[in-house]
Amino acid sequence: MSTWPEESRLRAAYERAGQGHVFAFWPELGAGGRERLLSELARIDLKLVRALGDLATGAATAAATPRFEPPDVFPLVRDASREAEAHAARGRGRDLLARGRVGYLLVAGGQASRLGYDGPKGTFPVGPVTGRSLFEIFSRRLIAARDQHGQRPLWYVMTSQANDAETRAFFERNRWFSLAPDDVFFFSQAMLPALDESGRILMSAKDEPFLAPNGHGGTLVALQSSGALDHAREHGVEVFSYFQVDNPLARPADTLFLGLHAASGAQMSSKVVRKRHAGEKVGVLGRADGKLTCIEYSDMPGDLRDARDERGELLFGAGNIAVHAIQREFVDQLTRGGLKLPWHVAKKQIPTIDARGAATTVPGFKFETFVFDALSFVDRSVTLEVDRAHEFSPVKNASGEDSPHTARADQCRLYAEWVRRAGHELPAPDEHGHHPIEVDPCVAEDVESFLRRAPHAPRKGPKGHFYG
């Protein structure tokens, strides 16, 4: 009798699926390697692998170009009628928050390796004066919402297989950033094997298949499979406030956005910012053949990309910033019986091993789902335009645009304007011309609350002024 009872069952299943090569190095593996291999293989859905292989290796067909239309946008600059609507929506949003109907959903599966930093991206220091991490900045926003609306925040944090343990340890070392540990629900997104051009699972080592995250659309199915969706239902959550870990200016407890979403009876809503220029490589919200979606930059015909309305504004200028309000019941509908979002195939050069176990690189396929594809399933949705300077400064690149430098500079510019409006002294500018200022979200999240609540003087230190 085998001392590895799972081996026989899994080997038979993989042989039937035409993937028996994953056991090619079994005789060479020690106990640890065999355990690791069996553990990884047990988590792989072979039926899904077959479907993805058929998708990637099937004959390509030329799809007709969709009919693109701009979305209906609730504008940033509003007339009296829209401002009255916004006022009513803020009241509805406050009510949702006061009744504990909002769960905060953070997508935090990425590593900060592109930033030259060893660790989960949420641990990256981005506070311009304090050096606070992205996780701490978000926790302060949730504490501010708790203090304002009187409800303990329920925070659902999606990690990945690569950073789950380190993320949990970071929260523990930082005493959960003054949140109750029971109010933070960690769960991990699924990983999928990469396939070669014939649909075979690629191996990253003799005891390990090459696995990659299943995309931010996997957040939805991970909510369901982890029990987070049941947890949200049991705690009265009706809507998830979805945001991604790389944007320190994200405002998860935005009463206007949540209120507009609720008032419209929407299943999923989105925030957008106006594109900087026609050539900015960012997806835009719009309709494709009548269905709401995010239109990728590369899919937009050039004439439409440059098209402008009668005011001279880009017709397709609603840049997606990956901030959404998503009904809990809608997540349930999309994930019951399997995730209903389409799969996207990316052909890449993938590091793997050859038949002798030597390292090599081959062309292959990775697979992802995108959360914004859920928009095509909605009956009702709100697209809210927000000010980029106030709500969007992502940390994506090591340098240049959307980098740590620009995120810190954007925070300083925003807070300096608040300080000017309050009539406070500005610190001397740094070598880049920015006044080093940081405002704790528990003090204020916008200029109006800063003018009402800001202390008379900040804490002054060698790195700048901090209001906290």
Domain boundaries, the chain: 65-396, 398-468
The pLDDT value given to residue 1? 39
The phi and psi torsions of 319 (rounded to 5 degrees) equal -70, 130
Predicted local confidence at residue 50, as pLDDT: 95
- The pLDDT, as a whole number, for residue 97 is 98
Q: How far apart are CA 44 and CA 194, in angstroms?
A: 11
Task: Supply the pLDDT for residue 62.
Answer: 56
> Quick one: pLDDT at residue 60?
53
For residue 280, the model assigns a pLDDT of 92
Token pair belonging to 292: 């709401």
Q: Which CATH class is domain 65-396?
A: alpha beta
Beta partners for residue 362, in sequence order: 350
Per-residue confidence (pLDDT) for residue 416, from 0 to 100? 97
- Sign of the Cα torsion 218, 222, 228, 229 reads positive
Extract the residue ranges of the chain whose pLDDT is less than 50: 1
Q: What is the pTM of this model?
A: 0.94
The predicted structure's pLDDT at residue 405: 97
Encoded tokens for 108 = 């935090």
